Amino acid sequence: MASSRELPIEPHKTFDTILVLDFGSQYSHLITRRLRELNVYSEMLPCTQKLSELSWKPKGIILSGGPYSVYWDDAPHVDPAAFELGVPILGICYGLQEIAWHFAKNVLAGEKREYGHAYLKVERHTGKAAHVDALFAGLEDDMEVWMSHGDKLSNLPSDFTTIATTTNAPFAGMAHETKPLYGIQFHPEVTHTPKGVQLLKNFAVDICKAKTDWTMGKFVDQEIARIRALVGEKGQVIGAVSGGVDSTVAAALMKEAIGDRFHAVLVDNGVLRMNEAEQVKETLTKHLGIQLTVVDASERFLGLLKGVTDDPEKKRKIIGNTFIHVFQEEAKKIQAAAAGSPKAGEIEWLLQGTLYPDVIESISFKGPSATIKTHHNVGGLLEGMHLKVIEPLRELFKDEVRELGTKLGLAEELVWRHPFPGPGIAIRILGEVTAEQVRIARHADYIFIEEIRAAGLYRKISQAFAALLPVKAVGVMGDKRVHSQVIALRAVETSDFMTADWYPFDGAFLKKVSRRIVNEVDGVCRVVYDITSKPPGTIEME
């Protein structure tokens, strides 16, 4: 690990970086992912980014796909300076159309839309400049590709050559005859284009000459040096730590960077999983050597949630706001306790476990999509706290964070923990949150997860939990009539938590879980399994 104090380093200033300009495609972030998998560092910025405002120069630029049509009056367009920067540019789908529009205003709505698989014919050009063929170098002449577009080029802009065709798209690939400018109508970043990664490698490594030196180890060294430089010799940092993988990995980095000037705080909001606070404390203190303060604010949270029955958003807001208050109070206490110590200065910084998808969502061209639910978000902690934010993971994706956690020596169990939302069990109790309702939901959840682990399914399932429905059903238990509540089990498989499908358990497994819950959890006489995908459902119930 780096030890000397250095100036803050941003990865794009030390690693060769491919800049992805996002026009709002569902797959834009995958371009960045694929490049990083090739050990080429890549960052994504909104398509409206002014290049003169960048403090660094990319090795190449990729224009993503997007839902707009380039010929619409309000369509987003790339800063024309991109074409003057002298670096290679690859346009994907909308990006191809954008390049064509820039040079020739020659895009129109096609008669046929193309969604799904297509066969691409690559055209080679002996006798032309070598770079024209470089994008498809080493690839077969016939390629399976994946398309998703309705617009098309009416003709090629002058000085461009066709480098690939499909039966529907005569200009499925084009290259400029003298400059390293390329456009492709298909999406190389999705797995449905099997050789797509090779094409991205051709662009980034062979055409842009980007070095393949992005590794997690180097990233960690840099991040630690950056944190040290930011915080200084005496600065103190308070961190919201939940025991989830994001905040634990962020905390481990912080500890490495500034030792005991980092103060981790877990708020017991009364709606954590069973034994969670104790378990997290044990893991962080014993195994990671991080001093963790558990603030038991459960009565305060439950008191505030009392009587909230109608609007789930109210629950989320109460919990989000109360988190802020508890943190403010805790920061004051820590600072007071350290006062007078020559080693410790003010608490100026707040650690957040923000990941790249959170950042990406907030930078898209038209802003984040409609609010479906207010995610409890540490961003809210900022209000009134006057703390500056440190987000060591803001360049990383969830699976990169898991890889980093493994590298930092975190236990597998911790690294692969299912995500657990800040508002916890409160958004899994559909109705008023009371201590009694928490007891029921928590116990049922514990049994469900225990059985999932015992069946060896924990890693296969992305997230699972038990929710408590605010309805009663009739049952017969021990020859007696009972009238009690219903537990709904939810388990999903997903790669990015944006879309998800329910997990197809076998009947024997569900029978066992149902029998255990009804027998062991007082107040439940029925168990149902939620078979709604996302969309239209969401993963959480509220």
Ligand X SMILES: O=c1[nH]c(=O)c2[nH+]cn([C@@H]3O[C@H](COP(=O)(O)O)[C@@H](O)[C@H]3O)c2[nH]1
Ligand Y SMILES: Nc1ncnc2c1ncn2[C@@H]1O[C@H](COP(=O)(O)OP(=O)(O)OP(=O)(O)O)[C@@H](O)[C@H]1O
Kindly list the residues in this chain that would bind ligand X in the complex (CB under 6 A).
316, 373, 375-376, 419, 421-423, 463, 497, 534, 538-540
Amino acid at 172: A
Segment interacting with ligand GLN, rule: CB under 6 A, options 59-67, 176-184, 241-249, 460-468: 59-67
Active site residue 189: yes
**Which partner in ligand GLN, ligand Y, ligand X, none is near 269 (CB below 5 to 8 A by kind)?**
ligand Y
Active site residue 187: yes
Residue 292 contacts by C-beta under 8 Å, 6 or more apart in sequence? 241, 264, 265, 266, 280, 281, 284, 285
What crossing angle do the helices spanning 245-258 and 216-231 adopt, rounded to 10°?
60
Looking at residues 490 to 509 of the shown chain, list those that interact with ligand GLN (rule: CB under 6 A): none
| Distance from C-alpha of 295 to C-alpha of 268, rounded to nearest angstrom | 6
Q: Does residue 416 bind Mg ion (CB under 5 A)?
A: no
Token readout for 37 is 């998998």
Q: Which of 11, 58, 66, 76 binds ligand GLN (CB under 6 A)?
A: 66
Per the CB < 8 A criterion, the answer to whether 402 and 416 are in contact is yes
| Distance from C-alpha of 266 to C-alpha of 255, rounded to nearest angstrom | 16
| Distance from C-alpha of 349 to C-alpha of 331, rounded to nearest angstrom | 10
Active site residue 525: no
- CA angle 208/209/210 to nearest 5° reads 90
| CA count, 13 A, side-chain hemisphere, 178 | 2
CB of 249 to ligand Y, least distance (A): 8
Q: Which of 64, 97, 242, 437 binds ligand Y (CB under 6 A)?
A: 242
Residue 292 is classified by DSSP as E
Interface map 10-29 toward ligand GLN (x if CB under 6 A): ---------------x----
CB of 272 to ligand X, least distance (A): 12
Residue 450 contacts by C-beta under 8 Å, 6 or more apart in sequence? none
Interface map 224-253 toward Mg ion (x if CB under 5 A): ------------------x-x---------
CA 130 vs. chain centroid, Å, equals 39
CB of 245 to ligand Y, least distance (A): 4
Q: Does residue 117 bind ligand GLN (CB under 6 A)?
A: no
| Residue position matching structure tokens 């007696």 | 480
Interface map 158-177 toward Mg ion (x if CB under 5 A): --------------------
Q: Does residue 183 bind Mg ion (CB under 5 A)?
A: no
Does 3 belong to an annotated binding site?
A: no
Q: Which of 12, 36, 131, 149 binds ligand GLN (CB under 6 A)?
A: 149
Residue 107's φ and ψ, nearest 5 degrees, are -115, 140
CB of 428 to ligand X, least distance (A): 9
**Which partner in ligand X, Mg ion, ligand GLN, none is near 151 (CB below 5 to 8 A by kind)?**
ligand GLN
| Residue position matching structure tokens 């939302």 | 421
Per the CB < 8 A criterion, the answer to whether 440 and 468 are in contact is yes
Helix or strand (DSSP H, E) at 520: helix 507-520
| Distance from C-alpha of 533 to C-alpha of 500, rounded to nearest angstrom | 6
CB of 420 to ligand X, least distance (A): 7
Does 52 belong to an annotated binding site?
A: no
Q: Which is nearer to ligand GLN, 93 or 378 (CB)?
A: 93
Binding residues for ligand Y, total number by CB under 6 A: 18
**Which partner in ligand X, ligand GLN, ligand Y, none is near 298 (CB below 5 to 8 A by kind)?**
none
What residues form the annotated binding site for ATP?
242-248
Q: List active site positions.
A: 93, 187, 189
